[in-house]
Structure 1
Amino acid sequence: MSKTGTTRVTMKPGDTLPRGDTDWARLDAMTDEEIVAAALSDPDAQPLTPEQLSRMRRVSRVKVLRQRLGMTQMQFADAFHLPITTLRDWEQHRSTPDAPARALLLAIERDPEVMRRLLAEAVA
């Protein structure tokens, strides 16, 4: 567990999902009201207030993709021939990818190894 009390799991393509203690059959048998009551009874899992929600920021899809591939910003930028400053701007919400960049990111998301190989061949 981290210092914040939150455990983060990063999944890579092909990894099996971590096993937990959730009794899915019991959960499926509960009504929506019972599920809400059970969730509210857990002092460690209280719902966020509107003020807390308003302070939260979404994680950039580019950052999620890069982390899912297990790459640093520099590795990702080098592998896919992106300027490191552009990648950082996308991840920090200072700018957003334009249409061609979104198409490239989607192709990387679907098959990163093929895209890495194609981009390497195009530069060579």
Structure 2
Amino acid sequence: MKIALTSVFVNDPMAAFKFYTEVLGFVNKVYMPEMALAIVAAPDEPDGTSLLLEPNQNMGADTFQKTIYEAGLPTIVFGTKDIAADYQRLKARGVVFKGEPKKTDWGTQVLFEDTCGNLIQLHQVEEQL
């Protein structure tokens, strides 16, 4: 068993699709603007887990999303093998970061805004010797 599809609430699926594909470099899996439906996948695993950019206009999702954001918590974590390079690449593309990458007990991480109501954590696991 494996995760095939998961979702993240966004305040505008079409704007999120543009950000996730054009800025972050994710690949288009499904794009149906007339149905507000957008699904993307990581460029290095286009047939791996997909991410549904879910409209937040139902059952209190907008309140949940706002509360998580205001608490400074990431909605989702994206792994990277080179956080310094990805940080610089994304920063050059206009991504708004909440500080610089910092080492923690769990690796190196930094938060950024996805322009659609979420904080995303970029995380690199440190190699164990």
| TM > 0.5 | no
TM-score (normalizing by structure 1): 0.22
Larger fraction in helix = 1
Q: Which of 1 and 2 has greater Rg? A: 1
TM-score (norm 2): 0.22
